[in-house]
């Protein structure tokens, strides 16, 4: 619990509630459709948040596509033909256990209720789950006023979100339905043949994409951790059969290294192999992050075998085989997948870096200790006084840097308050235009972490910041 004093009242918040409040106050994340009372499981990224989110996606694309000769990018559609999800197995197997309140018809995630009382039930079969439920249901903590007698037996609930776009007529009831994709990787399998035919890659090669996915989560919770609409960053690596172990190990290491390069602490990351595998996987391991509510999956690395291409070939009746020139044979490649939610990573970065620091006996400050290259703004520029000549000079600096760095201009409130505002959103450098600037063309540069200031020539701002950013980034590699 985090306790605050507001208007002489004490307010207690869980760490998650504290982050939710902070994220809204600083323009990182807003609840969706808030003026209509909100919409569970959907969030909007604000002016500052969208910059951090974009940095996450930019870094992912750079490392997974742009820095590589063997992985291609893709941006496939969100609304998909219903047969896709039959072939993938999601219409049958993409389910979560729920129990229904017989009086109110409210639905609860039965596995979450068990986890809350310390019963591990991730990756167990349905039969094992029912047995665990029956053993522990009397000690489960239901919402206030609800008892075990009020709820029925666990059943499985499908997570795919349906829509109807009007262009697809399919299904035995002749109902027009389509699905919002439940995972972005299906778009990759659907385009595997197109990429293969147009780019002529040789095995092993990968296809990667970032995009929205939708899941009818029974109880979306823990802020950005479990949403109904979220963004995935997924890469599918197509390999020769028999190479799974090698590439599974390779991508595990690569992905862990990447997360550390964004500034996540090694101590807060660990691998967790799955003891029970989902329907499509031959092997699966989570990279978990230590959130305030425990160690939870941040990213998954999966050996999907040849399940997906085999299924889509059978259902579409198309040839999805790869022609191997070496052996003069056709084969179905196996797939290693890496999959991470951009929002889960965003949340991990906020939680780890949200820091309340004591500055003096009387004063504390909030500082978001993000890695400098991940910060929404790398620089802020202020005129010391709200007078035209200082403002004009500061805006000239803003314009000279904005094509190279993410920079923000601020002339509201005292200089101390402006520094604190930037500390809260993680801006590593604040540049101030003062009287000396007007005479000598020098500015002060103040560092977020040391709070120390240095005077440098205006002509050196760009090179100074660049050097500092490179040095900070090197420490993370």
Of 279 and 315, the one with the shorter C-beta distance to ligand GAP is 279
Interaction between residue 185 and ligand GAP (CB under 6 A): yes
Per rule CB under 6 A, is residue 109 in the interface with ligand GAP? no
CA angle at 374 for the pair 370 and 377, rounded to the nearest 5°: 95
CB 85 within 8 A of CB 160: yes
Q: Is 88 in the site for ligand GAP (CB under 6 A)?
A: no
> Does the protein bind ligand GAP through residue 383 (CB under 6 A)?
no
Task: Provide the minimum distance between the beta carbon of 362 and ligand GAP in the complex, in angstroms, as a whole number.
Answer: 40
Out of 18, 217, 308, 423, which residue is the one contacting ligand GAP (CB under 6 A)?
217
Among 209, 232, 244, 338, the residue binding ligand GAP under the rule CB under 6 A is 232
CB of 281 to ligand GAP, least distance (A): 9
Hey, which residues between 328 and 367 contact ligand GAP (CB under 6 A)? Answer: 337, 339-341, 343-344
Q: Does residue 308 belong to the site contacting ligand GAP (CB under 6 A)?
A: no
Of 100, 132, 160, 227, the one binding ligand GAP (CB under 6 A) is: 227
One residue of 72, 205, 230, 346 binding ligand GAP per CB under 6 A: 230
Dist. CA 137–CA 195, nearest whole Å: 50
- Residue 176 sits at φ, ψ, to 5 deg, of -85, 100
226 lines the binding site for ligand GAP (CB under 6 A): yes
Pull the structure tokens for residue 375: 């910060």
- Indicate the residue whose CB is closest to ligand GAP: 341
Size of the site for ligand GAP (CB under 6 A): 19
Q: Is 181 in the site for ligand GAP (CB under 6 A)?
A: no
Segment interacting with ligand GAP (CB under 6 A) among 15-23, 110-118, 294-302, 390-398: 294-302
State how far the alpha carbon of 161 is from the alpha carbons of 81, 178, 181, in Å. 13, 9, 8
Which CB atom, from 188 or from 407, has the smaller least distance to ligand GAP? 188
DSSP 300-356: EEEEEETHHHHHHHHHHT---PEEETTTTEEEPPEEEEEEEEHHHHHHHHHHHHEEE
The residue behind tokens 């044979």 is: 329
Closest distance to ligand GAP from the beta carbon of 99 (Å): 19
CB of 391 to ligand GAP, least distance (A): 42
Q: Which is nearer to ligand GAP, 336 or 375 (CB)?
A: 336
- Give the distance from CA 280 to its chain's centroid: 23
Tokens linked to 436: 């000396």
Nearest-10 Cα torsion for 396, 399, 405, 406: 100
How far apart, in whole angstroms, are the C-alpha atoms of residue 65 and residue 284? 23
User: Is 264 in contact with 349 (CB distance < 8 Å)?
Assistant: yes
The whole-angstrom separation of Cα 160 and Cα 91 is 7
Asked if 90 is part of the footprint of ligand GAP (rule: CB under 6 A), the reply reads no
**What is the enclosing helix (H) or strand (E) of 255?**
helix 244-261
Does the protein bind ligand GAP through residue 183 (CB under 6 A)? yes
Tokens linked to 188: 């990759």
Please report whether residue 187 would count as binding ligand GAP according to CB under 6 A.
Answer: no
Q: How far apart are CA 366 and CA 230, in angstroms?
A: 28
Nearer to ligand GAP, 291 or 322 (CB): 291
For residues 119 and 123, give the distance between their C-alpha atoms in angstroms, rounded to a whole number: 12
Nearer to ligand GAP, 64 or 408 (CB): 64
Residues near ligand GAP, by CB under 6 A: 183, 185, 215, 217, 226-227, 230, 232, 234, 297-300, 337, 339-341, 343-344
């Amino acid at each position: 619990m985090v306790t605050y004093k507001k208007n002489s009242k004490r307010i207690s918040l869980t760490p998650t509630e504290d982050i939710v409040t902070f994220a809204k106050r600083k323009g990182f994340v807003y609840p969706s459709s808030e003026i209509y009372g909100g919409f569970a499981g959907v969030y909007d990224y604000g002016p500052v948040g969208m910059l951090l989110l974009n940095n996450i996606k930019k870094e992912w694309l750079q490392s997974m596509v742009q820095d590589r000769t063997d992985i291609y990018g893709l941006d496939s559609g969100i609304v998909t033909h219903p047969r896709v999800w039959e072939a993938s197995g999601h219409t049958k197997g993409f389910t979560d256990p729920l129990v229904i309140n017989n009086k109110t018809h409210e639905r609860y995630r039965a596995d979450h209720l068990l986890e809350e009382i310390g019963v591990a039930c991730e990756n167990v079969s349905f039969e094992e789950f029912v047995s665990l439920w029956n053993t522990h249901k009397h000690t489960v903590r239901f919402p206030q006023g609800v008892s075990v007698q009020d709820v029925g037996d666990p059943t499985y609930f499908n997570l795919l979100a349906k829509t109807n776009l009007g262009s697809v007529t399919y299904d035995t009831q002749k109902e027009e339905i389509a699905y919002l994709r439940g995972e972005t990787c299906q778009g990759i399998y659907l385009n595997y043949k197109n990429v293969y035919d147009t780019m002529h890659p040789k095995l092993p090669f990968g296809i990667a994409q970032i995009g929205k996915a939708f899941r009818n989560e029974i109880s979306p919770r823990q802020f950005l951790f479990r949403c109904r609409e979220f963004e995935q960053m997924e890469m599918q690596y197509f390999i020769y059969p028999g190479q799974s172990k090698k590439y599974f190990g390779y991508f595990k290491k690569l992905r862990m290294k990447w997360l550390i390069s964004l500034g996540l602490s090694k101590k807060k990351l660990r691998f967790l192999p799955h003891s029970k595998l989902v329907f499509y996987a031959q092997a699966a391991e989570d990279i978990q992050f230590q959130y305030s509510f425990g160690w939870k999956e941040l990213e998954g690395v999966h050996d999907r075998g040849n399940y997906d291409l085999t299924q889509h070939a059978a259902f579409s009746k198309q040839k999805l085989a790869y022609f191997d020139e070496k052996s003069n044979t056709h084969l179905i490649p196996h797939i290693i997948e890496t999959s991470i939610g951009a929002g889960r990573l965003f949340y991990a970065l906020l939680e780890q870096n949200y820091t309340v620091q004591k500055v003096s006996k009387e004063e504390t400050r909030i500082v978001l200790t993000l890695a400098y290259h991940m910060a929404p703004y790398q620089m802020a520029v202020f005129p010391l006084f709200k007078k035209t000549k200082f403002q004009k000079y500061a805006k000239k600096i803003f314009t000279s840097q904005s094509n190279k760095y993410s920079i923000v201009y601020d002339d509201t409130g005292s200089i101390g308050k402006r520094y604190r505002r930037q500390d809260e959103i993680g801006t590593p450098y604040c540049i101030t235009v003062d009287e000396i600037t007007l005479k000598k063309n020098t500015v002060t540069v103040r560092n977020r972490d040391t709070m120390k200031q240095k005077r440098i020539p205006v002509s050196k701002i760009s090179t100074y910041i660049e050097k500092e950013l490179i040095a900070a980034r090197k420490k993370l590699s």
